Structure 1
């Protein structure tokens, strides 16, 4: 499907919608020479542009002049999606008053709820849920609203989604659960909330890595402390290695100490039958303090 701007006047209308110039936009629409639903080459409408920019007066003018609220861009996005993505809750509420739908999807499966969650717009998420947005929406790769909020570390959104029935252990198609992605990003407060709400501390991705192993690899000690409160597996995982091996590989002394104090066994051998210290030594890193930690009798 190909779209083209109709006339130079249409171009001027897009400029007015983008800049929030209500007087010019109204003048152009009232001239009868600019269609309220005119589109650019990507299928973008004036309403989408005004909604993205958060110009509520222009949004109201366009809707009251008959703009089709639920038209989709080539990518599948709607005016509601753009308003939600940018956190314009006043625009979102107004669009719902005139029949905006939460069900339209982008080419990657995105919805207004997913977009608002990904960018941490808690008030918008709240409005969307009140107007029937599906808390279980997923991108086509399986990422949920909770997953996207966890990735960004948006604690208020996470609490709202969990209290509204989001599944704390729903993984993406590659097995990545919200707890794993929060740990990978170093969001310790998010990790704590998710663990308290029943997140599986040992849930592994398809590649066998767990939240603890990823946090150990990254050296996120605050995340590790939260995970250790829930007694995660410290031994060899299904992928043949352990969090201690990952910590040694990263060269983070504090992380190694945390895991050893929690009971990690320095005598464990990974899938290549390497002990943590020889494993560490074999990759060319020498650190006297880590060597001493691993060689000390438990």
Structure 2
């Protein structure tokens, strides 16, 4: 394979203002790792004039760049040339973290073959597993779990891999994590549990799975709202139907409202109907002494409420 070094040199000189690496040759290594140009990468590393673990001003290495970009051959070359697999950039991210985040499972496997660790965390407490769960890479999740990733990892705000998967609606990953022993009711620091978050986001299949695995249907946040309350306010009727199968509380919550109040405030006629059919009480008053009927001017909702005997205060 022929190679015009002068042409290549012109290319990476154009990047000097964008990148801040150790030397122009280091810039070239990063360029090759990002583009997946194995020939250039080998040429530069074999020259002996550039450190395989050269870093930019954030501590990012060429191995991290290749792992993020999905270039398996470049990752292998960097490893064989002596790259430190477990180096962390300033944020705490490692090559394994980047590969997992991007769903590059072949690279994840390769990194494990050469000693990658699942224990490193970012400054926010993120791990390779939490990244894969958040971004929906179920194959990577499987590989990570087989190689010792901790299903109970937590971000500093208390979010677990299960929480992140539930939040994003990644059904397969939710099942994987529960099968691996994830705690279904483990909340974040603010009291938000996976079920609450899935309900708010409208992920009815995730809600169903969590409920079947024992999620607390009435688990509330510090503000007193429950999964049913949030689903009702958002108008996520499929979620409401799943929750109602498990007989959640329809009465007043700690915040002084009910799910019916929430549905009315959200303007969701179908949600109102579902809750009334489940036995919601139209006479219950919130902390401001208002019934559900007092909270709306929507004539369709008022008609539905009046079929159950509701009356406005004025």
Distance 1:248 1:14 in 2: 56
Question: Within 1, Cα distance between the matches of 2:295 and 2:111?
Answer: 59
> Which of 149, 153, 156 is the equivalent residue of 2:165?
149
Residues 32 and 252 (structure 1 numbering): CA distance in 2 closer, same or farther, change over 3 Å? same
Partner residue, 2:264: 248
Task: Give TM-score, length-normalised by structure 1.
Answer: 0.96
Structure 1 residue aligned with 2:211:
195
**Given the alignment of the two structures, is residue 232 of structure 1 paired with residue 248 of structure 2, yes or no?**
yes
Q: Which residue of 1 aligns with 2:292?
A: 276
For 2:304, the equivalent position in structure 1 comes to: 293
1:184 to 200, 208, 215: 200
Match of residue 237 from structure 2: 221
Take 1:251 and 1:154, find their aligned partners in 2: how far apart are those partners?
A: 28
The equivalent residue for 1:212 is 228
Q: Is the 8 A contact 2:282 2:308 kept in 1?
A: no
TM-score by length of 2: 0.91
Aligned equivalent of 1:114? 130
1:294 CA displacement: 1.2
CA contact (8 A) 2:52 2:62 kept: yes
Q: How does 1:93-104 map to 2 (within 5 A)?
A: 93-104=109-120
Q: CA RMSD in A?
A: 1.0
Residue from 220, 238, 260 that aligns with 2:276: 260
The question of whether the paired residues in 2 share the 8 Å contact of 1:215 and 1:224 is answered with yes
Any stretches of 5+ residues in structure 1 without a counterpart?
A: 281-285
Aligned: 1:57 with 2:68: no
- Write the distance in 1 (CA, Å) between the matches of 2:142 and 2:270: 40
1:212-256 deviation per Cα after TM superposition (whole angstroms, max 9, x unaligned): 000000000000000000000001001110000000111111110
Q: CA deviation at 1:4?
A: 5.8
> Which residue matches 1:47?
63
In 2, Cα distance between the equivalents of 1:131 and 1:203? Answer: 33
Deviation, structure 1 residue 297: 3.6
Name the CA distance, whole Å, in 2 between partners of 1:83 and 1:201.
36
* Runs of 4 or more above 4 Å deviation: none
CA offset at residue 279 of structure 1? 2.2
1:87 has 2:103 as partner: yes
**In 1, Cα distance between the equivalents of 2:270 and 2:54?**
60
Q: Separation in 1 of the partners of 2:308 and 2:167?
A: 39
Give unmatched runs, 5+ long, in structure 2.
1-18, 310-314
1:134 aligns with 2:136: no
Distance 1:144 1:225 in 2: 26
